[in-house]
Structure 1
């Protein structure tokens, strides 16, 4: 064969080898740009407009953001509800998850796998199923919870029709769903702590609670940082469960007196019920700013505590 042809073929093969990796990863970047990056940029652009999703978008500058912080009373109510649920849910989820992880590691070694699966199942259960389950459990007339209260001689409670009772239901629902995830995170952290440290503490006469306080807690600090920050972010994004919990009742969005209306639910109501897509996008970016600020100060606080320790 002609040497020139051989050289040409080798050049073509080398060129194909050079571009094959880019061809293989191209679908990911195309999909990311189409369904990830473009919606982010587009929603930011329409947040400066007044647009109903059909007609022509009218540029109005920062009026949507000014309206959010100066005129929308439901935004502040939803922010207050979200913060309240976050402050109640997060400490309990973390505490229960840590307790379960420690008990499974120290006292249920043979059956730990089964208990891990049982406790983790709520976290992977679809929000629709969770909403239906808690609707049935806390139903005023035929709910299991009111049935148990009646057996104890206590009158039925209108759980989904009372502001504070509905908040309690959402708290219970979120704790039940989320503590299994916390348990898995803490178990992964506990698996990295050397057993020799616990054996040394037992030889020195330390009890279980002392080892837990002086060995387990300090060495789990990176896990605490991760679960606290992610819990705060996910807490501000709370939407599915409370929305579905009241989806089939005669209550307005957010339940009685909008007691469990979160910021994302306010965004949903504005954009998809009121067709104010420009203002809805502004609400979404206001939430993004709030999450970024809270996460920044949370990291600063945790890092300061680590430096002091």
Structure 2
């Protein structure tokens, strides 16, 4: 078995222990974690730094707020409900329509207002929060995803994950919802992760349940060869998120909206490692590429130019 370990090391594949010790512990100051673990704080921080984010309609802090839910959302028929301190896509409801006194979710399920309020109450109690602590509930704008993903996404909104090390974008993938993931762009729930060429913004092959795939299992369309629009702007937003949070090892999740272009959805101080499978390259190798200039004073554009010039 040792030869497998040696082969992975030669490929520059980053393992979870090395990630935790050499990247998360080394470059992420724990006092900064609340800036990304609490999505309300993340959104306010982004707005203060002129980083585009989906509009926040309201924050539900208590059962008192929950009682007047319909008033708080101002009779909107489209919105997203999410835990402020949730993880892994748990507890998120994507509401696409209001019809016959029911809220229709992206997966087609219909919920009454009382059922929505019950879900919010459960979320407030900490059912989906990190550590099970009492939480807040965010209600925000439902992204109208760009048509470029129409043939390779099932129902939900795809997102782009960019791994950033001290402001240098070193790897990216697009996460494509499937029927198995219930329309959510979450790999653990069954979404597809497709690698992205950092230079061109074009998708590579996909990884689904840790297996390489070439076609979307629901739409049957080829995953490779989709060019992500506004790619340089995506990289710029991702790089600026380091300046915003001072977290040196960061996963930046972006969405592409038809009307508003790229927007930062959320940040992750402990991004997973499946992105290496999707790109068929190791994060350690990309880290070694930027290591000579890691501590130099460079703005976001200069960091991006450095990375792209060496790929």
TM-score scaled by structure 2?
0.22
> Higher relative contact order by CA 8 Å / sep ≥ 6: 1 or 2?
1
Give me the TM-score of the superposition, normalised by structure 1: 0.22
Decide which structure has greater helix share: 1
